Structure 1
Amino acid sequence: MDAHFLRFYVATSRQLKRLESVSRSPIYSHFSETITGSSVIRAYGRHSAFVLMSDLKVDENQKSYFPGIVSNRWLGVRIEFIGNCIVLFAAVFAVTGKENLNPGLVGLSVSYALQVTMSLNWMVRMTSDLENNIVAVERVKEYSETKTEAPWEVEDKKPPPDWPREGNVHFQDYSVRYREGLDLVLKNLTLSVKGGEKIGIVGRTGAGKSSMTLCLFRILEAAGGEITIDDVKISEIGLHDLRSKLTIIPQEPVLFSGSLRMNLDPFDKCTDEAVWKALTHSHLDKFVSNSPAKLELECAEGGENLSVGQRQLVCLARALLRKTRILVLDEATAAIDLETDDLIQSTIRTQFEDCTVFTIAHRLNTIMDYTRVLVLDKGQVAEFDTPANLLSQKGIFWSMAKDAGLVQ
Structure 2
Amino acid sequence: GSLYAFILFSQRFFNPLRQLAEKFTALQAGFTAVERIDNILSLPVAIRDPAQPRHLPPTAKGEVQFEQVWFAYNPGEWVLKDLSFTIRPGEKVALVGPTGAGKSSIIRLLCRLYEVTRGCIRIDGVDIRDLPQAELHRHLGVILQDGFLFSGDIQQNITLGEAGDLAAVERVARQLHLHELIRELPQGYATPVRERGSNLSSGQKQLISFVRALWRDPKILVLDEATASLDVGTEALIQSALQTLLRDRTALIIAHRLSTIRNVDRILVLQRGELKEEGSHAELMARNGLYAKLYRLQDLGS
Q: Report the counterpart of residue 168 of structure 1 in structure 2.
A: 63
1:135-183 per-residue CA deviation (whole Å, 9 max, x = no partner) reads 77864663344231422x44621304636x11111101101122x4361
Deviation of the 1:340 alpha carbon: 2.8
For 1:201 and 1:302, locate their aligned partners in 2 and report how far apart those are by CA, in whole Å.
Answer: 28
Q: Of 170, 188, 207, which aligns to 2:82?
A: 188
For 1:157 and 1:193, locate their aligned partners in 2 and report how far apart those are by CA, in whole Å.
Answer: 24
Q: Of 144, 147, 157, which aligns to 1:263?
A: 157
Asked if the contact 2:69–2:84 (Cα under 8 Å) also holds between the matched residues in 1, the reply is yes
Q: Of 128, 134, 146, which aligns to 2:43?
A: 146
The alignment yields a C-alpha RMSD, in angstroms, of 2.7
Q: Report the counterpart of residue 31 of structure 1 in structure 2.
A: none
Report SS of the residue matched to 2:78.
Answer: coil
Alignment of 1:92-111 (within 5 A): none
1:51-90 per-residue CA deviation (whole Å, 9 max, x = no partner) reads xxxxxxxxxxxxxxxxxx8xx9xxxxxxxxxxxxxxxxxx
Q: Report the counterpart of residue 180 of structure 2 in structure 1.
A: 286
Letter in 2 for 1:258: G
Q: Does residue 245 in structure 1 map to residue 139 in structure 2?
A: yes
Q: Of 278, 296, 311, which aligns to 2:205?
A: 311
Report SS of the residue matched to 2:85.
Answer: strand
For 2:207 and 2:186, locate their aligned partners in 1 and report how far apart those are by CA, in whole Å.
Answer: 20
For 2:47 and 2:76, locate their aligned partners in 1 and report how far apart those are by CA, in whole Å.
Answer: 21
Asked if the contact 1:175–1:188 (Cα under 8 Å) also holds between the matched residues in 2, the reply is yes
For 1:359 and 1:160, locate their aligned partners in 2 and report how far apart those are by CA, in whole Å.
Answer: 23
- Residues 181 and 288 (structure 1 numbering): CA distance in 2 closer, same or farther, change over 3 Å? same
Letter in 2 for 1:206: G
Q: Of 267, 277, 281, which aligns to 2:171?
A: 277
Asked if the contact 1:391–1:398 (Cα under 8 Å) also holds between the matched residues in 2, the reply is yes
Report SS of the residue matched to 2:226.
Answer: coil
Q: Does residue 177 in structure 1 map to residue 107 in structure 2?
A: no
Q: Which has the higher contact order (CA 8 A, sep 6+)?
A: 2
TM-score (norm: length of structure 2): 0.83
TM-score (norm: length of structure 1): 0.62
Deviation of the 1:283 alpha carbon: 4.7
- Percent sequence identity is 35
- Residues 301 and 215 (structure 1 numbering): CA distance in 2 closer, same or farther, change over 3 Å? same
Asked if the contact 1:270–1:321 (Cα under 8 Å) also holds between the matched residues in 2, the reply is no
For 1:137 and 1:367, locate their aligned partners in 2 and report how far apart those are by CA, in whole Å.
Answer: 48
Q: Of 156, 160, 163, which aligns to 2:52?
A: 156
Deviation of the 1:134 alpha carbon: 8.7
1:223-256 per-residue CA deviation (whole Å, 9 max, x = no partner) reads 1110011010001222222112101001211100
Alignment of 1:388-399 (within 5 A): 388-399=282-293
Q: Report the counterpart of residue 200 of structure 1 in structure 2.
A: 94
Deviation of the 1:405 alpha carbon: 2.3
More strand by share: 2
More helix by share: 1
Alignment of 1:4-403 (within 5 A): 139=36, 142-151=39-48, 153-154=49-50, 156-160=52-56, 162=58, 165-178=60-73, 180-181=74-75, 183-291=77-185, 293-403=187-297
For 1:267 and 1:142, locate their aligned partners in 2 and report how far apart those are by CA, in whole Å.
Answer: 31
Deviation of the 1:315 alpha carbon: 0.4
Asked if the contact 2:177–2:240 (Cα under 8 Å) also holds between the matched residues in 1, the reply is no
Structure 2: gaps spanning 5 or more residues: 1-20, 25-29
1:284-343 per-residue CA deviation (whole Å, 9 max, x = no partner) reads 423432345321110011111110011011101111111111000011111112343343
1:104-132 per-residue CA deviation (whole Å, 9 max, x = no partner) reads xxxxxxxxxxxxxxxxxxxxxxxxxxxxx
For 1:371 and 1:291, locate their aligned partners in 2 and report how far apart those are by CA, in whole Å.
Answer: 36
Report how many residues are paired: 276
Structure 1: gaps spanning 5 or more residues: 1-68, 73-132
For 1:284 and 1:156, locate their aligned partners in 2 and report how far apart those are by CA, in whole Å.
Answer: 42
Letter in 2 for 1:192: T
For 1:346 and 1:287, locate their aligned partners in 2 and report how far apart those are by CA, in whole Å.
Answer: 14
